[in-house]
Structure 1
Amino acid sequence: MTGPFDPLRAQLLGAAEALADGPAALPEILAGIVDDVDHALREPLEIFPVCHHSPASAVAMLRRLRERQPKVIYLELCEDLQPLLTELRNCRLPVALQAFASELDGFPKESAPLSVIAPITEASAEYQAISYALDTPGVELVLVDRSTDHVFQWQPDVSTPAGTPEPEEDLHGDAVGVEIGDLRPRFAELEEHLLHHGRVRHWSEWWDQYVEQPLAGADHETYRQVMVLIGSLFRRLAPHDSRRFASDEDRERYMWTRIREHQAATGADPADCLYICGAFHAASRVAEAGSDPATPDFVITPRTATTWLYGLIPSSHSAIESQFGLAPGSVSIAAATWQKQLTASRLTPFRLQGQKGAGRKPKKALPAPVAASGAVTDHLTGYLAGPPALDGLDEEELRGWCVDIVRLARRNGYLASTADAIAVFETSVLLAGMRGRVRPTPYDFQDAAVTCIEKDTVPGRRDVRRLCEILLGGDRIGQVGYEALPPLARDVYDRLAPLGLNLEQRSIQRALLDLAARPELGACSQLLWMLRYLLPDQAVRPIMGSRRLGEKHIQESWDLDLGRHQRAIIELGYEGVTVEQVLEQRLRRDAWDPKATAARALKAVENSLLFLESPRLTEELGVRAIELLSAERTVDEAPDVLRRIRRLLGHYRATTPVLPSWCERFVTEGYAHYCTLLPTAFVEEETGVRQVGAMLGFLFSMESLALSLGCDRLQLEIAVRQSHPESPAKVALLWAALHQLGSLPLADLRVRVGDLLGNPLVVPSFPQYVSGFVQALEPVPRLAPFVVETLSEAFGRLPDPVLLPWLPNLITTLKQHAAELVPVLTREAGRTFPGTLAGLDSWTPPWKAPARARRLPGGPSGAGSAGPSGPAAAAAALLAAHRPAADAVAALLGCEGEWALHAAPVPDSPGGEVAAATLLKAHPESAQAVATLITT
């Protein structure tokens, strides 16, 4: 018995024999693609091959649904996404169906989160099928593709999901894209060959030129046979030993098994069903393919225990192009082509009732269905025999494009004119002729516009190619309606309603919060700060106001762009029911991350105080910070730890009567921990000067609190004595620590620095010593005058041949190791040096001023006329010169004393000296302490 495709098969085999020098597999390939077409068409269940986001597929689907009106539609889409389809009514296309999992069970933990997206556009065959099935009574839609769990079960490496888009088009993130009809050559050589001989630049342009346009007006059988032919060709030329090909075959077995299960369960007649799948899968010849109940089933593995969450997220043309490797602008061009074909064919597309942007026109009743013909006729021979009959040049359409692109270019800063519009028109026709095309395509028009308008400069932020995409439809961005949002997203919109803004608007909106006049807006402010922490930077941006410990603002100003960041809010809904719950989970995840540090846990503690009023959570995070600090064996984050614990202690001291128990434990544990690591940190080359300075800063600034909580100061003294650094900066730090402990007086420290400046071998490394002293300002801030003195001595004593090469090294060292402490040094220098140039001539450095020694009668050092000498005399003179200040200090210290009646406020007068001597005699310990402080 002869088949309808026997003449075509014989013709192709004859051509293969004529090409005797061709590949040996050529006859098998040519005969095989005809067999695949014949096999697909003989299947009792009608197979409808499609290509994703193809206007030709959408028009063919629209026509077939109106003619055939099937009762059951099997659609190649993840079966667990079916409940989301009804929510498309509440959205503005394009949107994407999404499955999301953050807590994994059965997949590697490091691959979390997992995400699968399936974008839907109006110019797609699957949307026409979904709209028809959901709005037509008595029609059942069944998704038959593998579940999202199986998508990752069959993926070679779950930790590196495919389809990562460009950052600026990141609407889908790193989600794995699922599409219907992935029609593209599976190896680069074939695609390169087609592009070269088709005189096109990319695959989207080749498909539009050689498939979309010829099939735009084709009848159903011609369309169906050509699509299966293309799918079979790409399938037979694909590498069969690849992991992807094996996965494709498993998908086909999966889908056919689900189809037979549904038919067996419902008794559906294959004649009333329609199977929509990609053309690549329509040419399947696996043993499990077919609707015959006797066909063997595929063993479907169970899903993992991973909990999947489902929802809709906004999508866009550019996101779809980036997700699936299409040329920029191709989806926008497809949308424009779809609208043009609907107008030309006078077809009314299927749209879901209530769909945003679909209008409110009543749907027309469908005509009586046309009975399907069981006979298979050959439409391929006539289609392949000659070139397709394409429409000629549409001058009116092309002229409109040229005028509009010139107008759009002028708005964006280009010096375009009517002459450029004429040039674009003629160049488009010329390029189409050079490329063997009957009429210019949108891609020819783009190339012509770039050549004639853009030339070699782009005056604004948009180039001409982008302007052409905008002209032909633009980057349409979808939106998920309020009813289709998860509970968290709806809660966010409800709680921000008092602001009186349209949060669905796709533009930046300014929110002004006068918290003094409208205290009820405080809840909105709190929510905005939490969203600021959870969402991308551009979604919620504060203009005026900040959130830090101890701060309270009465006015705030925000820039809100939630409309364009709707996807981020929706994905927050996959993590929890409220923003507070998500924030708490994020803080716990940060603190208990395997790579978490004490500084990171302290940051979580601070954020919990800023955003959440939960003492229990704060206490838990603080205990976690103690555990992490005790387990750390490095001090790389000691500066961050010091900065954060100081801020937290200051907050608690200002707001609570007593410190929390975790704070006290952190101080005691940190004191012991850093004392233990201090000798090692001093000698390790990997540990920087800043880290050692931060350790000393923690030990010295927390010393009083630690000692009051039971720590032993001897532990710190032993740790410092055991430290033997070799690098100059750390040696300076050690000297500062010894001075703070009282083991190295300031006079001895001056001697050591003087020896350094006097040693020519040490002078080149002196900047390192200076950087160490600057870092010492963190643990020993009272060394600031000495550091200024050291730098002044260096500038005064070093000769110019040594000083001038030394200065760049000093500046570089300070910038690298002590940038945050240089302002402290600058302020001290401002207090030390005179403020005017005239005062500099008579200025004497404080460290060189002679000590005024006077012998005062009746002083505390002796009896009779013997008075204080040396430091005591200087103290007496100082007290007599500043009698009110001396009275205030005495009252503050609780010391009672009287000035002599004949005392004068001038220290040079004898009465003033007697009065000072009397006060010193009454309080000798205080006098000695003040004298020591003055001299040191």
Structure 2
Amino acid sequence: MSGPLPHGVLEAGPVPAAPLGDAGSGPFGALRDQLTEAAAAFAGSPDALAGILAGIVDDVDRALGERLEIFPVCHHSPASGLAMLRRLRVKQPKVIYLELCEDLQPLLGELRNCRLPVAVQAFASELDGFPTDWAPLSVIAPITEASAEYQAIAYALQTPGVELVLVDRSTDHVFQWSPRHRAQQAADDDGAPQVAEDDGAPPAAAAETGEATTVGAAEEAELHGDAVGVEIGDLRPRFAELEAHLLHHGKVRHWSEWWDQYVERPLVDADHDTYRQVMVLIGSLFRRLRPSDANRTGTDEDRERYMWTRIRQHLAASGADPADCLYVCGAFHAASRVEQFGLDSTAPAFEITERSGTAWRYGLIPSSHSAIEAQFGLAPGSVSIAAATWAKAVSRAGVTPYRLSGRTERSRAGGGRRGARAAAPPAGATPDEVTDRLSGFLAAPAEPDGLDAAELRGWCVDIVRLARRNGYLASTADAIAVFEHSILLAGLRNRARPTVYDFTDAAVTCIEKDVVPGRRDVRRLCEILLGGDRIGQVGYDSLPPLARDVLDRLRPLGLDLEKRTISRALLDLRADPGLGACSDLLWMLRYLLPPTTVRPIMGERRLGHRSIQESWDLALGRDQRALIELGYEGVTVEQVLELRLRRAVRHPSATAATALAAVEDAICLLDSPRLVDELGTRAVELLAAERSVDDAPDVLRRIRRLLAHYQATAAHLPAWCAAFVTTGYAHYCTLLPTTVIDEETGTRQVGAMLGFLFSMESVAISLGCDRSQLEIAVDQSKPEEPAKVALLWAARHQLGILPLAELRQWCAALLDNPLVVPAFPRYLAGFVHALEPVPGLAPFVVETLSTAFARLPDPVLLPWLPTLITTLREQGPELVPLLVREAGRTFPPTVAELDVWVPPWHGPAPVPVSGGSPAGPSPRVSALLTGHPAATDAVAALLGCAGDWQPVPSSVGTAGGTASAAGGAALVAAHPATGTAVATLLATTPGR
């Protein structure tokens, strides 16, 4: 395999031929003729294939012959970064045009306060000109030190007299030009929807056309969230067949490995002209072999027209000499064929549309190697490998990269530039003529790159050591096996020396053995060995004002909140009341930030309660992105919280329950009665406008809590709260007759409505409501569903219309009717839900359940029991304790007593008779009474039964004994079980 391109790369399907130009003209005439002859010999006629090959050469000739020097790059490529570093030191341009969203330029100076990698971000939460369901919109551009764009940015910002100009379309145009937005505009203009190819995906998840913008869904992409990513220089085939072809013939597993093997390594040490020609060649190849996608192609070309238009505008306005300028763009765009290409083009300027009314906010967020890999569809570990390759190449070349790190680093970098200028040729010595370096590079065999045994040996020893620390049973034999296996894999893949990818595959095969004892597999250990997943951080000075204010206000905690580790904060508010402000801020942050960023371990805050001790886990340094994006919404946390609460109650989908939740949050988190009144008033408006009762249970639960809070803390109810009660009373009375017959309204919702009406009845009547409204509403309600019928029966009982005895008779009649028995469990469900509006009905519900268990046949009872349990668990968990307590008061406490237990709803137990007269107490009871007459006398006196003690007949008691008084005897005869139980208890008590 010779050169950066494997054999067979040009076999990927026909595309329209490009003009061949004048064969043999220009520096690439010989190469053009050679490729045309080869295509004719291969295909039998110089048609499509010859047009493709000659067109590629034409693209290279056109790009390199442009007066404005075009520097093609690939994103996160060490070869591009090193070539950029060398070119900047030699050419020392005065103007650098960079392919990056033009509205991100003011942020680039803040990179000096950050630890790379970081991402420049544009964020918008309030949209104007885009569909509201797209919110929030986010665009990011990750930057690493090994990238060519960072070297250009650092050079321009640290070199006096150098101007950096971003020329790509703005972040607003990123979404204006998205296929989904164009399809929507076409539908608005034509009156018929025109669905784009990826119209079904949201804009933040759709691939950004023209750059590598695949949004990763893996967990490692969490630093970027669902933002659209833009990068300089996406060099990857635009259709799967070509990429699969390259991977197959290159004997590699993924694209990152192919690029490293056939492009990255050959170009690391290449000269400037060779680098440019090869990169434009690859960009032209992928451009000409891309599929015919109108949406994608149109966006690519519009971006190129946009950039050349901005370049011309700047040159005209500034008067800069094109010889002192450098245009840095992706190799894909360097091979552009748009009519606006070049400074000598006579085509009219591209018409740039106005931005939408969306207000964009800008900032820096932390990034990481794994987040970049997931964002742009790269292989895991590829960015870390690129960083390691960059460090090794810079060290081997003996050059100092540009870094934005303050005055000290700036002077050191400036010294390096002075040394480079002294050794470099003068600016005028830069060759103006383009020489053909491409032919020699493609034809020359690969330079022998022998095995670096010391480097490979060090990797093998270190990976075994790292594996043992992570629980693997690795030994020296495994190190030897990895060494030999790496060489074997490199030979099988036609490589002169093992690469990082060969070493990683060998380590997985020889050490992991299909067993991962801990959290990290061997592939992840190899990534750590080669540099790991470097995570960037935004410095304090580059944070938004809100983020800096949060860190300043939490300073009394004495923690370093900028670290990426989780910090534990302990707050003793009784011992140190000054920490109360920190506690208030932490509770607000818990509401605004993700749950893992600020997490309470101990303590709670609810209506009327504040903990005296709290414990928190804080990960503000790890989750910088969430805190930074919070800073885009306001200046202080309190301001953002107010905006969020107002936005929640003004949202089109807001309900009365949503507004009441916002009221609770405002009371607990913000000391602002004005805001509470505003939110409460909005809750009254939403309640009056609702036409369904789906949220009635939530409304009832929240308004009960708020009423209890105000009754305990305020002298009178606020005006909004009183208005909510009166409005709700009239509202639910009006809706009750229609909702009970609505099949879509559940029993729980009807029960919550009645619960609101009955529990708020006293407050509503005191505020001027009429009880007849409720009586009329109940009388007009004619439900057919058995559960709702039972609910209305309970409501009539609560109103005094239906006595309990009559209600019991109705239930008995239902059980006696064989046609109704199968539906009786549904009545029971209604009675259970009736505990919400009529909690005093709990004894009757227990009675009805017991009767149902005793009388319902098994085919009806058994299938209903699981439904009852799940219904109570899902819809009425707060009703279960009420039922359990009432059942505990009703049923006997022990199993032994259950045999003689008589349900209280069956009336007093019949007195057994013998010979026509009441049976007397047992001998043991008589002995008890005669031994302790005082207790019997007291009970008899209490019941108004006076009498004297009489001798006990021999047939009943012992000889010579006495019986209780007349009242006591009648009492014992009527209730013999009580005396028997007491006697048994005393007989079994020790010492009796």
TM-score by length of 1: 0.89
Query: Match for residue 206 of structure 1?
Result: 258
1:693-733, Cα deviation, whole Å (9 max, x unpaired): 11110011011111111212112112212222222222221
Match of 2:942 among 906, 909, 913: 906
Using a 3 Å threshold, how does the CA distance of structure 1 residues 564 and 676 change in structure 2: closer, same or farther?
same
Match of 1:129 among 128, 137, 152: 152
Match of 1:96 among 96, 113, 119: 119
- 1:478-557 alignment to 2 at 5 Å? 478-557=536-615
In structure 2, the gaps of 5 or more residues are: 1-23, 182-201, 207-213, 911-937, 948-992
Secondary structure of the 2:416 match is: coil
Moved more, 254-263 or 89-98: 254-263
Using a 3 Å threshold, how does the CA distance of structure 1 residues 23 and 73 change in structure 2: closer, same or farther?
same
Match of 1:413 among 471, 490, 502: 471
Kindly indicate whether the alpha-carbon contact (under 8 Å) linking 1:47 and 1:274 is maintained by their aligned counterparts in 2.
Answer: yes
Query: Match for residue 277 of structure 1?
Result: 329
1:667 and 2:703 are equivalent in the alignment? no
1:286 and 2:338 are equivalent in the alignment? yes
Using a 3 Å threshold, how does the CA distance of structure 1 residues 22 and 423 change in structure 2: closer, same or farther?
farther
Look up the equivalent residue of 2:801 and give its one-letter code. Answer: S
Kindly indicate whether the alpha-carbon contact (under 8 Å) linking 1:423 and 1:452 is maintained by their aligned counterparts in 2.
Answer: yes
Kindly indicate whether the alpha-carbon contact (under 8 Å) linking 2:340 and 2:346 is maintained by their aligned counterparts in 1.
Answer: no
1:860-883, Cα deviation, whole Å (9 max, x unpaired): xxxxxxxxxxxxxxxxxxxxxxxx
- 1:470-485 alignment to 2 at 5 Å? 470-485=528-543
Deviation at 1:640, TM superposition (A): 0.4
Partners of 1:149 and 1:202 lie apart in 2 by: 33
Deviation at 1:813, TM superposition (A): 4.4
Using a 3 Å threshold, how does the CA distance of structure 1 residues 191 and 357 change in structure 2: closer, same or farther?
farther
1:844-864, Cα deviation, whole Å (9 max, x unpaired): 333234399xxxxxxxxxxxx
- 1:321-720 alignment to 2 at 5 Å? 321-354=373-406, 363-366=415-418, 367-368=420-421, 369-370=424-425, 371-389=429-447, 391-720=449-778
1:266-310, Cα deviation, whole Å (9 max, x unpaired): 221111111111001111122211123866422222222322211
1:252 and 2:316 are equivalent in the alignment? no
1:729 and 2:765 are equivalent in the alignment? no
Using a 3 Å threshold, how does the CA distance of structure 1 residues 778 and 802 change in structure 2: closer, same or farther?
closer
1:76 and 2:102 are equivalent in the alignment? no
Partners of 2:254 and 2:320 lie apart in 1 by: 43
Secondary structure of the 2:772 match is: helix
Kindly indicate whether the alpha-carbon contact (under 8 Å) linking 1:91 and 1:355 is maintained by their aligned counterparts in 2.
Answer: no
Using a 3 Å threshold, how does the CA distance of structure 1 residues 812 and 106 change in structure 2: closer, same or farther?
closer
Query: Match for residue 928 of structure 1?
Result: none
Query: Match for residue 247 of structure 2?
Result: 195
Deviation at 1:516, TM superposition (A): 0.5
Partners of 2:830 and 2:563 lie apart in 1 by: 55
Kindly indicate whether the alpha-carbon contact (under 8 Å) linking 2:178 and 2:203 is maintained by their aligned counterparts in 1.
Answer: no
Kindly indicate whether the alpha-carbon contact (under 8 Å) linking 1:89 and 1:356 is maintained by their aligned counterparts in 2.
Answer: no
Query: Match for residue 877 of structure 1?
Result: none
Look up the equivalent residue of 2:363 and give its one-letter code. Answer: G
1:403-439, Cα deviation, whole Å (9 max, x unpaired): 2222222222222222222222222222222122222
Query: Match for residue 855 of structure 1?
Result: none
Secondary structure of the 1:541 match is: strand
Deviation at 1:524, TM superposition (A): 0.4
Query: Match for residue 785 of structure 1?
Result: 843
Using a 3 Å threshold, how does the CA distance of structure 1 residues 511 and 841 change in structure 2: closer, same or farther?
same
Moved more, 836-845 or 97-106: 836-845
Query: Match for residue 766 of structure 1?
Result: 824
Partners of 1:634 and 1:310 lie apart in 2 by: 42
Using a 3 Å threshold, how does the CA distance of structure 1 residues 764 and 466 change in structure 2: closer, same or farther?
farther
Kindly indicate whether the alpha-carbon contact (under 8 Å) linking 1:512 and 1:556 is maintained by their aligned counterparts in 2.
Answer: yes
Deviation at 1:260, TM superposition (A): 1.9
Match of 1:228 among 269, 280, 296: 280
Match of 1:13 among 13, 33, 36: 36
Moved more, 280-289 or 416-425: 416-425
Look up the equivalent residue of 1:311 and give its one-letter code. Answer: G
Secondary structure of the 1:170 match is: helix
1:87 and 2:72 are equivalent in the alignment? no
Using a 3 Å threshold, how does the CA distance of structure 1 residues 757 and 420 change in structure 2: closer, same or farther?
farther
Partners of 1:240 and 1:817 lie apart in 2 by: 55
Kindly indicate whether the alpha-carbon contact (under 8 Å) linking 1:590 and 1:601 is maintained by their aligned counterparts in 2.
Answer: yes
Moved more, 195-204 or 556-565: 195-204
Secondary structure of the 2:122 match is: strand
Q: How many residue pairs were aligned?
A: 863
Partners of 1:798 and 1:324 lie apart in 2 by: 65
Partners of 1:166 and 1:275 lie apart in 2 by: 34
Query: Match for residue 198 of structure 2?
Result: none
Partners of 1:828 and 1:356 lie apart in 2 by: 78
Deviation at 1:353, TM superposition (A): 2.9
TM-score by length of 2: 0.84
Using a 3 Å threshold, how does the CA distance of structure 1 residues 808 and 85 change in structure 2: closer, same or farther?
closer
Secondary structure of the 1:510 match is: strand
Runs of 4+ in 1 over 6 A off after TM superposition: 355-362, 902-905
Partners of 1:94 and 1:17 lie apart in 2 by: 49
1:160 and 2:214 are equivalent in the alignment? no
Deviation at 1:761, TM superposition (A): 3.6
Using a 3 Å threshold, how does the CA distance of structure 1 residues 410 and 827 change in structure 2: closer, same or farther?
farther
Partners of 1:404 and 1:761 lie apart in 2 by: 81
Using a 3 Å threshold, how does the CA distance of structure 1 residues 693 and 22 change in structure 2: closer, same or farther?
farther
In structure 1, the gaps of 5 or more residues are: 853-901, 912-936
1:261 and 2:313 are equivalent in the alignment? yes
Partners of 1:390 and 1:718 lie apart in 2 by: 98
Deviation at 1:903, TM superposition (A): 13
Partners of 1:686 and 1:181 lie apart in 2 by: 56
Partners of 2:251 and 2:686 lie apart in 1 by: 63
Percent identity over the alignment is 74
Using a 3 Å threshold, how does the CA distance of structure 1 residues 521 and 672 change in structure 2: closer, same or farther?
same
Partners of 1:268 and 1:47 lie apart in 2 by: 16
Query: Match for residue 148 of structure 1?
Result: 171
Partners of 2:861 and 2:325 lie apart in 1 by: 91
Kindly indicate whether the alpha-carbon contact (under 8 Å) linking 1:135 and 1:353 is maintained by their aligned counterparts in 2.
Answer: no
1:101-127, Cα deviation, whole Å (9 max, x unpaired): 222222223322221111100110011
Using a 3 Å threshold, how does the CA distance of structure 1 residues 109 and 609 change in structure 2: closer, same or farther?
same
Q: CA RMSD in A?
A: 2.4
Kindly indicate whether the alpha-carbon contact (under 8 Å) linking 2:464 and 2:479 is maintained by their aligned counterparts in 1.
Answer: yes
Deviation at 1:464, TM superposition (A): 2.0
Partners of 2:907 and 2:149 lie apart in 1 by: 91
Deviation at 1:23, TM superposition (A): 8.9
Look up the equivalent residue of 1:88 and give its one-letter code. Answer: L
